[in-house]
């Protein structure tokens, strides 16, 4: 299961959806593309807005809250919530 923890200044993503095998998992692909597209979009506008740490866990720290960053982060969260609604057994979102 993909576990997403959301707080005001940090988003943590860990795990695997287990919807299908690695490399064939559309749920993992959807989460990854949503998150990476959002992060890259924000960093292309303001490279100081986020700190991203990758490894077994992806940690996105929001360093600067501004209108664009907050709107893009909220859009990403809404998209992840929609995915969770469609794949309840594969994604868990917790707000801290």
pLDDT digits (tens, 9 = 90+) for 4-60: 999 999 999 999 999 998 889 999 999 999 999 999 999 999 999 999 999 999 999
User: Residue 31 and residue 45: Cα distance in Å, rounded?
Assistant: 22
Query: What pLDDT is attached to residue 22?
Result: 82
pLDDT at 42: 98
Residues 6+ apart with CB under 8 A from 68: 42, 45, 46
Write down all domains in the chain, each with its CATH number in brackets: 2-95 (3.30.70.1490)
Give the per-residue pLDDT at 49. 98
């Amino acid at each position: 299961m993909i576990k997403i923890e959301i707080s005001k200044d940090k988003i943590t993503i860990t795990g695997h959806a287990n919807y299908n095998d690695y490399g064939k998992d559309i749920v993992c692909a959807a989460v990854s593309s949503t998150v990476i597209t959002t992060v890259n979009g924000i960093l292309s506008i303001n490279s100081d807005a986020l700190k991203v740490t990758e490894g077994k866990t992806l940690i996105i720290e929001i360093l600067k809250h501004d209108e664009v960053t907050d709107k893009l982060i909220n859009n990403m969260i809404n998209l992840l919530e929609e995915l969770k609604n469609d794949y309840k057994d594969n994604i868990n979102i917790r707000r801290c």
